Chains A and B, each alone.
Chain A
Amino acid sequence: MSTVALKNSEKSNKKLGMKAKTLIGQIILDFILLLLAATMILPFIYIMMVSFTDGSVYVSGDFILWPKKWSFDAYKLILNGSGFLNALKSTLFITGIGTPLNVIVNAGLGYMLSKPVPGKSFINKAVMFTMLFGAGMVPAYINISNLGLINSWFACILPAACGAWTIMVMKSFFMSIPDELEEAAKIDGCGPLRIFAIIVLPLSKAVIATFTLFALVSYWNTYFSAVMYITSSTKMPLQVYLQKIVLTSNISDVVDIQLELANTVPQEIMRMAAVIVVVLPVVCIYPFLQKYFAKGVMIGAVKG
Chain B
Amino acid sequence: MRFPNFLPSPLRRVSLPRWGRAFAALGALALLSGCEWWSMNGHQSTIAVEGPVARNQLEVFYVTVWVSVVIFVIVGAVLAYAMVKFRAKTDADEHAQPPEQSHGNPLVELGLIGASILSLVVIAVPTLKSIWYTYDVPADQKANAFEVTATGYQWWFKFEYPSELASVTPDGATKAPLVTGNELVIPVGRPVRINVRTVDVIHSFWVPKLAGKVDMIPNRANHLWLQADKPGYYWGQCAEYCGDSHAVMRFRVIALEKKEFEAWVADQSQTARNVAPLTAGTERPKVQFASLREFKKNEVGITQKFDVNPLEAWRAHQMPDARNENPELIARGKELFTQKTCLACHQVRGHGAAGISAPDLTHFGSRTTLAAGLIENNPEQLRRWIRDPGSVKPGNKMALAYERIDHTGKKIDGIKLTDEEQVALVAYLLSLK
Partners in one complex: no
